[in-house]
Amino acid sequence: MPVEWWIAVVLTTIVAVSQLGSGVIQALGGNPFTGIGGSASGDGMWGLTLRGLYGLDIFSNFSGFGGAQYFRPG
């Protein structure tokens, strides 16, 4: 992704910490999408945030490996 280095570092850190946290929660037998937000609406917001971070990770990997060149018209 064509972004400044510090943006890439911040996004990478956020994604890595969230994935590590999700892995720990799952290893302890929990569900990383429920019980974290403190309420039903909090869980919903947390679930959207976590899914968004996973989407960002997938998109950045796709972009970093040159996948965007296959979707350019022409």
> 50: closest CA among 17, 73, 27?
17
Residue 1 is predicted with a pLDDT of 58
Residue 62's CB: how many other CB atoms inside 10 A? Answer: 14
74 residues of the chain, pLDDT tens digit each = 577 889 889 988 999 999 999 999 999 998 888 888 788 888 889 889 999 999 988 988 888 888 878 877 76
Residue 14 is predicted with a pLDDT of 92
**Per-domain residue ranges for the chain?**
5-64
The CA distance from 16 to 74, in Å, is 36
Q: What is the pTM of this model?
A: 0.74
The CA distance from 13 to 17, in Å, is 6
